[in-house]
Amino acid sequence: MASTMAQNLCRIRGHFITKRLTGLAWKSYVVPNRTCLASAMQHTIDKIDGKRTKALQGGGKRRTDAQHARGKLTARERVNLLVDPGTFIEFDMFAEHRCTDFGMDSDEKKYPGDGGVAGHGLVNGRVTYVFGQDFTVHGGTLSSAHAHKICKIMDQAINVGAPVIGLNDSGGARIQEGVESLAGYADIFHRNVMASGVIPQISLIMGPCAGGAVYSPALTDFTFMIKDTSYLFITGPDVVKAVTQEDVTHEELGGAKTHTATSGVAHGAFENDIDGLTKLRELFSFLPLSNRDPAPIIDCDDPATRQVPVLDHIVPFESIKPYDMLDVIHGIVDNRDFFEIMPAYAKNIVIGFGRMNGRTVGIVGNQPKVASGCLDINSSVKGARFVRFCDAFNIPLITFVDVPGFLPGTVQEYGGIIRHGAKLLYAFSEATVPKITVITRKAYGGAYDVMSSKHIGGDINYCWPTAEVAVMGAQGAVKIIFRGEDNIAQAEQDYVEKFANPFPAAVRGFVDDIIQPSTTRMRLCRDLDLLSTKKKQNPTKKHANMPL
Task: Check 161, 446, 457, 476 and give the catalytic one.
Answer: 446
Task: Check 197, 212, 264, 415 and give the catalytic one.
Answer: 212
Distance CA 260, CA 266 (A): 5
- 2 among known catalytic residues: no
DSSP H or E stretch at residue 541: none
The dihedral of CA 187, 192, 155, 117: what is its sign? Answer: positive
Eight-state DSSP code of residue 294: P
Query: 473-500 burial, b for 16+ CB within 10 Å, e for fewer?
Result: bbebbbeeebeeeeeeeebbeebbeebb
Amino acid at 403: V
- 212 among known catalytic residues: yes
Q: How crowded is residue 548: how many other Cβ atoms within 10 Å of its Cβ? A: 7
**What strand order describes the sheet that includes 89-91?**
89-91, 116-123, 126-133, 164-168, 201-205, 222-226, 268-270
Task: Check 113, 139, 211, 254 and give the catalytic one.
Answer: 211
- 211 among known catalytic residues: yes
Distance CA 75, CA 204 (A): 12
- 171 among known catalytic residues: no
Question: Collapsing DSSP states into helix, strand and coil, what is residue 85?
Answer: coil
End-to-end alpha carbon distance in the chain: 89
Helix 273-284 to helix 75-82 angle, to the nearest 10 degrees?
Answer: 40
Distance CA 369, CA 371 (A): 7
Task: Check 295, 447, 505, 506 and give the catalytic one.
Answer: 447
Tell me the catalytic residues.
Answer: 211-212, 446-447
